[in-house]
Structure 1
Amino acid sequence: MDLNLRQAVKNNVAGHDEEQLEATISEAIQSGEEKMLPGLGVLFEMYWQEASNDEKEAVLNKLEEEVGKL
């Protein structure tokens, strides 16, 4: 069986509005299930590919801050 995870995630969220996307992200995080992490990664990849350099820098700064708390 050939499973394209990226495409499956994209198909699952296609046409979702902001509220639906937020619910998907929140549910994935709140569930704490490891199997949800790849889907969040696909959503992040979609964002990252279209983000401006300023947006990327802001995300990286925030991640650096959060990683520093570990």
Structure 2
Amino acid sequence: MDLNLRKAIYSNISNNDEQQLEATIVDAIQNGEEKMLPGLGVLFELIWKHSDDQEKKEMIQSLESGVKQL
């Protein structure tokens, strides 16, 4: 069986607008189900690839701040 998780996730969100994408992220985080983590990872990968250096730096700083609050 050839399962390409990225392609499946891309296919599931390819026609989503901003509101639908946000709802997907919020729902995945609020539900806290671990099965959603790979999908969030793929979404983050897309965000990262389409961010400039300043945006990446801000994300890393935000992540560091969040990790320190755990």
TM-score of the aligned structures, taking structure 2 as reference length: 0.96
4+ aligned runs moved over 6 Å, structure 1: none
In structure 2, what is the Cα distance between the partners aligned to 1:54 and 1:22? 22
Deviates more, 1:35-44 or 1:23-32: 23-32
Q: Which has the higher contact order (CA 8 A, sep 6+)?
A: 1
Question: Structure 1: any 5+ residue segments left out of the alignment?
Answer: none
Q: Which residue is equivalent to 1:51?
A: 51
User: Share of identical aligned residues, percent?
Assistant: 57
Root mean square deviation of aligned Cα: 0.6
Write the mapping of 1:1-70 to structure 2, written as runs, cut at 5 A.
1-70=1-70
Q: How many residues were matched structurally?
A: 70
TM-score of the aligned structures, taking structure 1 as reference length: 0.96
